[in-house]
Structure 1
């Protein structure tokens, strides 16, 4: 594990920030198989930070139950009963998806007066040992600390390839993202306050957080294997997440559609010239294949264009209703 240095503005001062009141925000959806184990590991991490004086004594862990159908919430209640200072819980009234559950936890933590939060998934594939380095970077002046994977050795070749393609596409479309960074990050209270100003329904935190622009650093870690249970991000969810990110942060696909339309017109003109030449030479039948290809090309471009435009219209429709992004049913 390694880290980039904290911002130079803060490093100029030898005095560290005071130990923060920290909450580790953990979104959970059907995580009964890993929750006890993850809670024990995170408890040890936070307790060590408290003992070393790196975080405030009331720091702890906030589990966010995203409408789980198993015994996840019951386990969170049991953990709270065992140690009410360390373990806290928020239960959403309905499954709202990973990003909204994460935002719900951040919002609840912000309302409790935290100095900083660290978000990570319940399966702890993201190395929890990086928490200490994140806190150190925060105390040195960073407002945002990104957890970044130093390799993708645990991924399949397909997942590695699609991940690289995703980040390249996002950057090409003008969206600032941190390659190999998921949702493992530290946000200071100042960064949380800035995040609360973003009101869009279609959340893509990996794009929103870098756009905040506050001083930041990176902590590199090795991603581990999932301890138990199944991944909550199968292929169809990853594709949906990628589409969400692209359409939430870039209008460039609409410009691409315009470009495709121009190309289509040029191809059509070329095919018209080819057809006229074929008729003049008495080979009209020979142009039938080219004509059919042109029709398929134009039809495909129209359908793709309508689909992309439809994605944006659907997001406008959702945003216009101003529905709550999450509803907290219970908090402990």
Structure 2
């Protein structure tokens, strides 16, 4: 009998985690020849999420384990913690804790995995009751990511079934700054995509603001490729070309006696070059910061406590 772990990163999800675990249990209990275990990663929640999971684990008719991180490390770290503690399973399913990912698809994912696909991922066919602005920003982000990396992740989510070989390969990566969706696509194992619609009722007001989305986009792109650094070179080339044109014109006007006061032009050039320099320094600073994070070699997450079928331990 194959064993599959379902990894569920959670951060302040007390209002939905109970319903989600119950729905998952309902959807997987009739899947034949497969034994499931649930692993919830509490990413430093402050609303009692861990306590709810503990209570459920004591009452559920399925194995429910809980890993509590010492603080909020972020979803990428929580996913990594779940995968690293699930390497003994034949496959691992990663899904959100807020019912955004429909558990009814798990049976189809398992079926496709059993047919030979090593990655089965849910792809959003619709984005539920997401606002128009957010929808536009997300689609724009997908295009930017594809432009810079050459990988298309449009519509993809963290809702994935990964074969043990994929989990092992992902955990063997040594980088601290991770982008789960991008790295799984980069591994390039045989993949099957299953479209799904995000239920409106499962998406309350998102805690992700526009600034959060911008930060996520910047982090994922710069964590995955150094190509944006070429923008600095490109802008430098454009500035040099403009300088040649304006300098040539100024020299010609000087020779012909048509030189005029260039105060406005000088001010505009200073502002343009200054803006380009500040942008370039900021972009380089992002990469330097990521290098700094890597060389410190701090752990990607710190576990405060683990609750499994064998009891609590640290």
Could you state the TM-score of these two structures normalised by the residue count of structure 2?
0.92
Partner of 2:130: 155
Structure 1 unmatched runs, 5+: 1-18
Partner of 2:5: 23
Deviation at 1:135, TM superposition (A): 0.6
Q: Kindly indicate whether residue 260 of structure 2 is the aligned counterpart of residue 284 of structure 1.
A: yes
Q: Which of the residues 55, 58, 62 maps onto 2:34?
A: 55
Could you state the TM-score of these two structures normalised by the residue count of structure 1?
0.87
Deviation at 1:291, TM superposition (A): 2.1
Q: Which of the residues 108, 115, 127 maps onto 1:140?
A: 115
Q: Kindly indicate whether residue 89 of structure 2 is the aligned counterpart of residue 114 of structure 1.
A: yes
Residues 160-179 of structure 1: per-residue CA shift (max 9 Å, x gap): 21122111111111242421
Q: How many residues align?
A: 306
- Name the structure with the higher strand share: 2
Q: Does structure 2 retain, via aligned residues, the 8 Å contact 1:175–1:249?
A: no
CA separation of 1:177 and 1:104: change in aligned 2, threshold 3 A: farther
Residues 249-274 of structure 1: per-residue CA shift (max 9 Å, x gap): 11111112111101101111212233
Task: Give the distance between the partners of 1:26 and 1:230, measured in 2 at CA.
Answer: 20
Q: Which of the residues 245, 248, 252 maps onto 2:223?
A: 248
Q: Kindly indicate whether residue 45 of structure 2 is the aligned counterpart of residue 45 of structure 1.
A: no
Task: Give the distance between the partners of 2:285 and 2:23, measured in 1 at CA.
Answer: 45
Q: Kindly indicate whether residue 279 of structure 2 is the aligned counterpart of residue 304 of structure 1.
A: yes
What is the RMSD of the two structures over their aligned residues, measured on CA atoms?
1.7
Task: Give the distance between the partners of 2:106 and 2:67, measured in 1 at CA.
Answer: 22
Q: Kindly indicate whether residue 181 of structure 2 is the aligned counterpart of residue 206 of structure 1.
A: yes
Q: Does structure 2 retain, via aligned residues, the 8 Å contact 1:177–1:206?
A: no
Q: Which of the residues 164, 181, 197 maps onto 2:139?
A: 164
Q: Which of the residues 40, 44, 66 maps onto 1:89?
A: 66
Task: Give the distance between the partners of 2:265 and 2:154, measured in 1 at CA.
Answer: 43
Structure 2 unmatched runs, 5+: 308-314
Residues 263-310 of structure 1: per-residue CA shift (max 9 Å, x gap): 10111121223334455554522x322222211111111111111111
CA separation of 1:232 and 1:153: change in aligned 2, threshold 3 A: closer
